Amino acid sequence: MTSPGFVAALVAELGERCRVVTDGDLLASYRQDMATVVPGGLPCAVVLPRTTQDVSAALRLASSYGVAVVPRGAGTSLAGGASAVEGCLVLSTEAMSSIRSLDPLDRVAVVEAGVVNAALDRAAGEHGLMFAPDPSSWEISTVGGNVATNAGGLRCVKYGVTRQSVLGLEVVLADGRVVSTGTRTTKNVAGYDLTGLLVGSEGTLGVITAATVRLSRRPVVPPTTVVAAFASLEAAGEAVALVVARGPEVSLLELLDGTTLRAIDAWKRMGLAGIEAMLVVQVDGRFAGDAAAVASLCEEAGAVDEPAVSTDPQESEELLAVRRLAYPAAEQLGQCLVEDVGVPVSRLPEMIRRIDAAAARHGVTVLTVAHAGDGNLHPTFVFDHGAVGIPAAVAAAADEVFAAALELDGTITGEHGVGVLKAHWLERQVGADSMELHRAVKKAFDPLGIMNPGKLLA
Amino acid sequence: MTSPGFVAALVAELGERCRVVTDGDLLASYRQDMATVVPGGLPCAVVLPRTTQDVSAALRLASSYGVAVVPRGAGTSLAGGASAVEGCLVLSTEAMSSIRSLDPLDRVAVVEAGVVNAALDRAAGEHGLMFAPDPSSWEISTVGGNVATNAGGLRCVKYGVTRQSVLGLEVVLADGRVVSTGTRTTKNVAGYDLTGLLVGSEGTLGVITAATVRLSRRPVVPPTTVVAAFASLEAAGEAVALVVARGPEVSLLELLDGTTLRAIDAWKRMGLAGIEAMLVVQVDGRFAGDAAAVASLCEEAGAVDEPAVSTDPQESEELLAVRRLAYPAAEQLGQCLVEDVGVPVSRLPEMIRRIDAAAARHGVTVLTVAHAGDGNLHPTFVFDHGAVGIPAAVAAAADEVFAAALELDGTITGEHGVGVLKAHWLERQVGADSMELHRAVKKAFDPLGIMNPGKLLA
């Protein structure tokens, strides 16, 4: 419960400088993020700071009243990373959306946390550059959220995850102090890598208010797309292995499993009968022969029919359509819990078989797509629209999936983060001693424990 | 001073399992690393563990006796990162040199800390792969040391620094507990990035005993080398800017300043008179046109004569010779303090001018080479062979160089680490609040403060 007087003090201090939400209905809209299975608590207030100083003032107040703070970007977390706790202060970065600087020569931009990923990418595009991280939510998610979760995406198979694009951070600690980490240089080994520690810390160590990011060159030629269909998962897995081992560097390498393809076909009638797996691949290098090499490796692995190849942007979009339909097709079937495990690339087929076995054992529908080039799978668990929370059978199947990922030398989360949903699983992956280090690090940054409680650390 | 009984206890526990050095003359050889200006203290013992359990036992004993532990790889630190403190236990990883596994399909190897960088690279080479980090010491330095300092190198302009090749670590904490971080997967966001925090922590948080590393593809064609000479530093700086902004991706981009070239010419008579800067560039991609593009950009920036271009490995080596001569040429002139600052690429010429001004002001000879593509400069301060420690004029000039790097949005160390030499400079770069976080993180891992005291944190 919130300390009496906190909301009044917040309004008094910040009400004229930025928006402070205290209206009940509006507050309720900040309960949840996109992990709608997490009910979330009702915040006592939502603050939308406009400056780093506003954030600092809000955190100083929260510290002195002992109020929990839940930082929030666009609220697109699929793990409950931004779900509110009862009586907390939600700190939304949406009003901090300016690109402070963009230097095309050094390929560095300094952006506020609330800048939408796609907006930064567009600004970079004016100089032939790009902001590489491209989570599926990139048109709406914010750089601050991307950084807080170390977001992945489709092209990170070539360009790396968010961490690889972050040179430094501006962060406000729980007590209101503003700390800068990193530099504008590519190489920097002065002191501990606090930048790296904050990337992916899910708002539990402080509020990221700005990031110094590295921009990448935008490919000069549009990508060539290759789509190959397979009659078995094994053949598709073999194709992935061949492409990774012997193929050219790819900028996208997605796998759709049979359950996903059947769901898409049932909805859109795309003639996918008999196809048990599909690969969608892109290359964006300058070698015209690269796409043909990918197609040839897919054939070597036993693709049914000749893979479709297109350099035409319009046609490429049509070939990508099947990948884009995967999630909407799942949503046709019911409520979705989109999960996120990772395994070494060579274990992909085995991991999908383990997912299917868990689904069958618990009578749950699970559709799996994978960023196959990175061994990162999204098994999507489907259940009744009417259900509140995660049904027991789904939870049991998901737990088996997490256990299988760990058995196969993998991870319980490749890009979504631990959030609330997997906080009770983290120790199984990292072990008790590492958990103790986690808690000690948390305490070093946030001794009162007010930052995003219940996330990452259970 | 060492607690009485520690050495006897160490010998009793480990003497039959691994080598324990207690002989005075041998102990003295472990005082210093390659930063010979740091005198170092005399260790009470040196242990060369063979297994992680040996390391654990040694640290447990050191903790219980309150003895400082200085971890050491090959001792190639140029910052005093492995210099001993009086009465400490030096823990050398040289006997832990096995490659535990190497999986070419997933491109992952698990290697012990004492594996020499070049040995791992050769093992990877048998599968068409490479271990990308290539500090100049790569033929003798160990993976553990590379990881502990987040080593850079020449090809990291294309392939990234050591951090980018590390997926996970096995580390022994000060109290002897063995903790694993990370996974074998490319993407993993389960919990805090303790792997990243340990990379570059210079032995102050624990002893890295093994690393799970990512291997990169070895380029299929040998690199093409381009060498261009310039009559002014500005012209060379402009060439670097043009190559970075508009050129192809380069795998090596080195700059030698006029002072370096004069020292090489005085020694080897290579006809370099009138040349104020030289660029040595390599491209290792598959486009034959890339080297010509680099040469053309150098000409556009005003190179004197046509740049030399060669695809022949033998000729390439000859072109690289001038770069390899830079440090030996400096050594002809006296004792060397090899420094290591970084700036955004666009500030390179200004940084070199600031180095030259500081050198002139204090009457010190400074030769500068730079990993120009990364904005990482090595100003080498030369002084009398007879001097003990760093002469005052050199220290004063070096301090001006560090201050200039910070003024130009740079860093006091791009790849060598803070070590002893810059421990008193770290706070000037990161600020007092960040230092407090550094100390809190240190305490979280090493509450007794026995791990590599005096390094990184003054």
Q: Do A418 and B191 touch (CB under 8 A)?
A: yes
Q: How far is B278 from chain A (nearest CA, A)?
A: 21
Backbone angles phi, psi at A55, to 5 degrees: -60, -45
Q: Of B162, B55, B27, which Cα lies nearest the Cα of B112?
A: B55
Name chain B contacts of A186, Cβ cutoff 8 Å: 342, 374-376
Name chain A contacts of B441, Cβ cutoff 8 Å: 192, 194, 197, 441, 444
pLDDT tens across B224-243, in order? 999 999 999 999 999 999 99
Q: Do B150 and A193 touch (CB under 8 A)?
A: yes
Q: How far is A60 from chain B (nearest CA, A)?
A: 15
| Mean predicted confidence (pLDDT) in A9-32 | 96
Instruction: Report pLDDT for A245.
Output: 87
Q: How far is A194 from chain B (nearest CA, A)?
A: 7
Of A346-360, B21-35, B312-326, minimum mean pLDDT range = B312-326
Q: Do B431 and A179 touch (CB under 8 A)?
A: yes
Q: How far is B269 from chain A (nearest CA, A)?
A: 34
Q: Do B189 and A245 touch (CB under 8 A)?
A: no
Q: Do A152 and B433 touch (CB under 8 A)?
A: no
DSSP assignment of A144-176: HHHHHHT---STHHHH--GGGGEEEEEEE-TTS
Instruction: Report pLDDT for B340.
Output: 97
Place of tokens 């102990």: B27
Which of B191, B344, B415 is nearest residue A184 as measured by Cβ atoms?
Answer: B344
Count the helices and strands in chain B (H runs, E runs): 16, 19
Name chain A contacts of B150, Cβ cutoff 8 Å: 189, 193
The residue in chain A having the minimum alpha-carbon distance to the alpha carbon of residue B245 is: A105
The residue of A60, A77, A163, A186 whose CB has the most chain B CBs within 10 angstroms, and thus the best one to mutate to test that interface, is A186
Which of A185, A186, A191 is nearest residue B430 as measured by Cβ atoms?
Answer: A191
Q: Do B376 and A196 touch (CB under 8 A)?
A: no
Name the pLDDT band for A2 (thresholds 50, 70, 90).
low
Name the pLDDT band for B207 (thresholds 50, 70, 90).
very high
Which of B106, B187, B342 is nearest residue A185 as measured by Cβ atoms?
Answer: B342
Q: CA quadruple A442, A443, A444, A445: dihedral positive or negative?
A: positive
Neighbouring residues of B374: CB distance < 8 A, sequence distance ≥ 6: A185, A186, A187, B152, B156, B157, B253, B342, B345, B414
Beta bridge pairs of residue B254: B280, B371
- b/e per residue B56-73 (b: at least 16 CB within 10 A): bbbbbbbbebebbbbbbb
Report the length, in residues, of chain B. Answer: 458
Which of A161, A184, A197 is nearest residue B197 as measured by Cβ atoms?
Answer: A197
Name the pLDDT band for B1 (thresholds 50, 70, 90).
low
Neighbouring residues of A203: CB distance < 8 A, sequence distance ≥ 6: A70, A71, A81, A82, A148, A451, A452, A455
Question: From CA A162, how far away is CA B403, in angstroms rounded?
Answer: 31
| pLDDT at B110 > cutoff 70 | yes
| Mean predicted confidence (pLDDT) in B332-348 | 96
Q: Of B199, B203, B243, which Cα lies nearest the Cα of B348?
A: B243
DSSP assignment of A59-85: HHHHHHHT--EEEESSS--SSSTT---
Which residue type is seen at B163? R
Q: B5: which 2 tokens?
A: 């009984």
Name chain A contacts of B174, Cβ cutoff 8 Å: none
Domains annotated for chain B, with CATH where assigned, are 6-92 (3.30.43.10), 99-217 (3.30.465.10), 220-324 (3.30.70.2190), 334-437 (3.30.70.2740)
Instruction: Report pLDDT for A286.
Output: 82
Which of A187, A245, A249 is nearest residue B161 as measured by Cβ atoms?
Answer: A187
| pLDDT at B405 > cutoff 60 | yes
What share of chain A has pLDDT > 90, as a percent? 94
Q: Do B184 and A409 touch (CB under 8 A)?
A: yes
Name the pLDDT band for B245 (thresholds 50, 70, 90).
confident
Q: Do A187 and B411 touch (CB under 8 A)?
A: yes
| pLDDT at A53 > cutoff 80 | yes
Start-to-end CA distance of chain B, whole Å, equals 19
Q: Do A422 and B179 touch (CB under 8 A)?
A: no
Q: How far is A13 from chain B (nearest CA, A)?
A: 24
Instruction: Report pLDDT for B294.
Output: 97
Which residue type is seen at A266? A
Name chain A contacts of B375, Cβ cutoff 8 Å: 185-187
The residue in chain B having the minimum alpha-carbon distance to the alpha carbon of residue A455 is: B191
Q: Do B194 and A434 touch (CB under 8 A)?
A: yes
Spatial contact of B441 and A193, defined as CB atoms under 8 Å apart? no
DSSP assignment of B229-298: EESSHHHHHHHHHHHHHHSPPPSEEEEEEHHHHHHHHHHH--S-TT--EEEEEEE-SS-THHHHHHHHHH
Report the length, in residues, of chain A. Answer: 458
Instruction: Report pLDDT for A356.
Output: 96
Which of B156, B161, B187 is nearest residue A376 as measured by Cβ atoms?
Answer: B187
DSSP B5: T
A·B CB contacts under 8 A: 239
Instruction: Report pLDDT for A77.
Output: 96
Place of tokens 């078995």: A232
What share of chain B has pLDDT > 70, as a percent? 100
Q: How far is CA B202 from CA B3, B454, B455, in A?
A: 25, 11, 7
Which of A287, A414, A433 is nearest residue B185 as measured by Cβ atoms?
Answer: A414
| pLDDT at B2 > cutoff 70 | no
Q: Do B180 and A441 touch (CB under 8 A)?
A: no
Instruction: Report pLDDT for A291.
Output: 95
| Mean predicted confidence (pLDDT) in A61-82 | 97
Backbone angles phi, psi at A254, to 5 degrees: -110, 145
Spatial contact of B441 and A444, defined as CB atoms under 8 Å apart? yes
Q: Do A430 and B376 touch (CB under 8 A)?
A: no
Q: Of A144, A146, A145, which Cα lies nearest the Cα of A132?
A: A146
Q: Do A344 and B108 touch (CB under 8 A)?
A: yes
Rounded to 5 degrees, what angle do the CA atoms A408, A415, B132 make? 75
Q: Do B192 and A189 touch (CB under 8 A)?
A: no
What ipTM was estimated for this complex? 0.96
CA B383 to chain centre: 22
Spatial contact of B315 and B353, defined as CB atoms under 8 Å apart? no
Which of B105, B180, B190 is nearest residue A241 as measured by Cβ atoms?
Answer: B105
pLDDT tens across A236-273, in order? 999 999 999 889 999 999 999 999 999 999 999 999 99
| Runs of H (alpha helix) within B15-80 | 24-28, 52-65
pLDDT tens across A102-134, in order? 999 999 999 999 999 999 999 999 999 999 999
Mean pLDDT over each residue of chain A, to the nearest integer: 96
Mean pLDDT over each residue of chain B, to the nearest integer: 96
Instruction: Report pLDDT for A458.
Output: 82
Q: Do B196 and A193 touch (CB under 8 A)?
A: yes
Q: A392: which 2 tokens?
A: 């027991």
Beta strands in B44-131 (DSSP E): 45-48, 69-72, 89-92, 99-103, 108-112, 129-130
| Runs of H (alpha helix) within A21-142 | 24-28, 52-65, 117-125
Q: B337: which 2 tokens?
A: 């303090």
Q: Do B434 and A191 touch (CB under 8 A)?
A: yes
| pLDDT at B4 > cutoff 90 | no
Pairing of strands A304-310, A341-342: unpaired
Instruction: Report pLDDT for B82.
Output: 98
